[in-house]
Amino acid sequence: MGKGKSFGSPGGKGKGKGGFDGGKGKGKGKGKGKGKGKGKGKGKGKGKGKGAAGAKVTIVEHRHKGIFIAQAKEDALVTLNSTPGTSVYGEKRISVDVPAEDGTGGTVKKEYRVWNPFRSKIAAAILGGVDNIYIGPGSRVLYLGAASGTTVSHVSDIVGPEGLVYAVEFSHRPGRDLINMAKNRTNVIPIIEDARHPLKYRMLVGMVDTIFADVAQPDQARIVALNAHYFLKNQGHFIVSIKASCVDSTATPEAVFAKEVKALQAEQFKPEEQLTLEPYERDHAVVVGMYRAPPKK
């Protein structure tokens, strides 16, 4: 479990634990084996079904709305698949029977997608116990560094049909995968542009509630600030994933994280929480907070 550092007065913590049944490979590979993480979940609604191996699975709500835990022999973080019957990157899918909402006492099938924290910074932060990701049903999210859309697809599941994900990726090769993924998800708008130049896509992006950034560049704080000035509403929120070696390979990770926090503070960001992503990512941290916070009374 990563170590957290508080910058203010984060919200209350839910109870319970959500582990992960997934492979721990090298880099971003799938691999085989067991990885465990701790998340703080609070179950409400339940559904039962069978996973790929035929084991009985119970779905409970995580304390972060729009995210769930599949409870079986090994717990897994999951999101409700908005395109049932299809996977995005070969992830496991779990079908369960849940009570119908029409009050007849019947059941309906729902499909959930396993969210691998070894392939997603947001999933790693959730299992690390981050207090708030500020992404939920109906959220409008600007995602910088979307790559091929692995995590974007899960964010798409979370925000649902009432939300939107503006996914910005500079490289054309992963950008093709991102575009193909978005063809089946109407709440994802793929943008193949350089996040350093938000003016190039300002006609495509509306005001957003949250910015998530994973651009792994030395000037990442400046890139996030440029986009926030155009698209992030006042008192909106940000999540920045920091890869220490991409910012300064000569300094210790702790020194790099502290430097990036100061750079964010200079751009009207108010960090609330810092969390390392061990054991899922080495020398990575996420910083979460508010943009243009109201002055203290």
How crowded is the C-beta side of 184, counted as CA atoms within 13 Å? Answer: 16
What pTM was estimated for this model as a whole? 0.81
Closest CA to 114 of 150, 163, 165: 150
Q: Of the ranges 12-26, 45-59, 117-131, which is most confident?
A: 117-131
Radius of gyration over every alpha carbon of the chain, rounded to an integer in angstroms: 19
Query: What is the predicted pLDDT for the residue at 55?
Result: 59
- What are 232-258's pLDDT values in tens digits? 999 999 999 999 988 888 889 999 999
More confident residue, 106 or 270: 270
Residue 208 has pLDDT above 60, yes or no: yes
* DSSP letters spanning 248-280: -TTS-HHHHHHHHHHHHHTTTEEEEEEEE-TTT
More confident residue, 21 or 146: 146
Mean pLDDT calculated for residue range 212-227: 94
The model's confidence at residue 112, banded by pLDDT at 50, 70 and 90, is: very high
Query: What is the predicted pLDDT for the residue at 27?
Result: 40
Residue 283 has pLDDT above 60, yes or no: yes
- What are 29-82's pLDDT values in tens digits? 344 444 444 444 444 444 455 454 445 889 999 999 999 999 999 999 999 999
Edge-first strand order for the sheet with 284-291 is 4-6, 269-276, 284-291, 232-243, 208-213, 140-144, 164-169, 188-192
Query: What is the predicted pLDDT for the residue at 135?
Result: 98
- What are 146-182's pLDDT values in tens digits? 999 999 999 999 999 999 999 999 999 999 999 999 9
Query: What is the predicted pLDDT for the residue at 49?
Result: 54
- Percent pLDDT > 70 in the chain is 81
* Adjacent-strand bridge partners of 112: 80, 94
More confident residue, 28 or 79: 79
Query: What is the predicted pLDDT for the residue at 256?
Result: 93
More confident residue, 8 or 68: 68
The model's confidence at residue 9, banded by pLDDT at 50, 70 and 90, is: very low
Mean pLDDT calculated for residue range 193-204: 96
Domain positions in the chain are: 121-291
As a whole number, the mean pLDDT across the chain is 85
Task: Look up the CATH superfamily of 121-291.
Answer: Vaccinia Virus protein VP39 (3.40.50.150)
Query: What is the predicted pLDDT for the residue at 239?
Result: 97
Query: What is the predicted pLDDT for the residue at 43?
Result: 42
**CB-count burial class (<10 Å; 0-12, 13-18, 19+) for 59:** buried
